[in-house]
Structure 1
């Protein structure tokens, strides 16, 4: 099982590297083509592609760090947060780029220039093909962690924006509606904001140590109180280390002054409940008996 997991991450790294090479090619071609043709939509697609290159490099490095750097005496969690930080940086950069492009597009709409539409069409086609290959490479890995999902969404959003630029280029070629370039850029900006916000919010919540959205702490309390010897649980903390590791911490007050061996037995029961019903595989439990302290479920530190 362990060998298969490691091989999967090696494969992810290889796919990310191929995607980086493809996106560097697209970025250079579209940026130069955008300047020659005068198309802001093409330049905005190039900027989006450049953000893809940055995001893919960050994702690639994060992937290497997460899987090659193990826990040490100074890094007791290893680099498990690297991919979450990468997802946060990637989504943040997309939001900033989207706002910038939207502002530039509004300025462009006031005085739409004539464009070289043939170049726009061919470069948009190139971007669709290259991004399509990258999307297919990362599709399966995007289901398994937030970092790969962020990289995947970068690529699929860029492929779709290139489709929009292609359609715009065709319409500008045959109908000379050059104002469409600004409108398409605004549409791309709105789409980028929509696609990025979810990942930005999820990664920020993990970095802020918020409780996972899919776990109700009240349900955990209800289940653990069912254990006969437990009087209450309090001073509870629950957080995510990354998109798959959930951690739980609590003080457990017992009804009686139990032996250490009994506590160990109850710990196993608690761990089984947490793992089977809530997918929490890391727990930190502090035993208490007749201690004078605050028994609130959530303590205001």
Structure 2
């Protein structure tokens, strides 16, 4: 297997540690405040924050695992650990959202008077803490699906706190206590949308689907332009993780060349695949007039 080396973004685990500690503080404060004020939205936000703590701990562990070196029993190492974490984290977003909707509907049927001042101040604290935590992970989230799932947990928490703040202000100045339930449902719907998107992204990689940005037919056309190539077939393309994009294929050569000549040909193919399609791990089986079906680009 050939590999083209690229610069990989180094995910900083310490940012996750800071976020975990901050979220533990805000969770405790919101649970106490929610009980004292009687606000379901505040308690819901606290439960979401606590789910974030578990999510961040899981993401931190997966990040540590992903850095373990390969071994004879684990030839790819634990590079997919973060994908599993992303999938689980996204699933918890949806589960939490469903619980929020259930509680909000119950509260909407039987509205309760809420201590709005406490709701307002604790929601402001939630905005500051979750906003700062999300900011810590923002750069990593742009390069890593696991960090992206953790970032969205924190970002949605910040948005939830904004919604709780708006609800608190409306309750304080207009006495609209039903807003608490409405805000909770809106928060939950947003969580479901984000969760489904993350589940789709992580599932595609876990199932070894061809990445969305790869056009296999276009890739084949480019490789076929290289002198010495007859037909590229039996192609499989997949992401191992966020950094590594793999390709394996059979290459029918136009001439019966020596291995040293094939190395030169392979180098040309690698450059095309890397520069045009960002594929950095390539495994190609050379052939010359081998008797097997070559009329299929993708084949088991």
TM-score scaled by length of structure 2: 0.93
- Counterpart residue number, 1:261: 260
Q: How far apart in 1 are the matches of 2:139 and 2:54?
A: 21
Q: Give the paired residue count.
A: 294
1:115 matched to 2:114: yes
Q: How far apart in 1 are the matches of 2:297 and 2:281?
A: 19
Indicate conservation of the 8 Å contact 2:41/2:164, yes or no: yes
- Per the TM alignment, residue 5 of structure 1 is displaced from its structure 2 partner at its CA by 6.5
Report the secondary structure of 2:234's partner residue: strand
- Counterpart residue number, 1:89: 88
- Counterpart residue number, 1:241: 240
Structure 1, unaligned runs of 5 or more: none
1:36 matched to 2:36: yes
Q: How far apart in 2 are the matches of 1:5 and 1:226?
A: 30
- Per the TM alignment, residue 279 of structure 1 is displaced from its structure 2 partner at its CA by 0.9
Structure 2, unaligned runs of 5 or more: none
1:66 matched to 2:66: yes
Report the secondary structure of 1:140's partner residue: helix
Q: How far apart in 1 are the matches of 2:19 and 2:227?
A: 55
Q: How far apart in 1 are the matches of 2:128 and 2:139?
A: 19
Indicate conservation of the 8 Å contact 2:94/2:196, yes or no: yes
Q: Which has the higher contact order (CA 8 A, sep 6+)?
A: 2
Deviation digits for residues 218-239 of structure 1 (CA, Å, limit 9, x no counterpart): 1110011112222211111000
Q: How far apart in 2 are the matches of 1:103 and 1:260?
A: 66
- Counterpart residue number, 1:182: 181
Q: Which runs of structure 1 show a deviation greater than 4 angstroms over 4 or more consecutive aligned residues? A: none
- Aligned in 2, Cα 1:270/1:199: closer, same or farther, shift over 3 Å? same
Q: How far apart in 1 are the matches of 2:275 and 2:57?
A: 36
Indicate conservation of the 8 Å contact 2:8/2:243, yes or no: no
Q: How far apart in 2 are the matches of 1:26 and 1:280?
A: 43
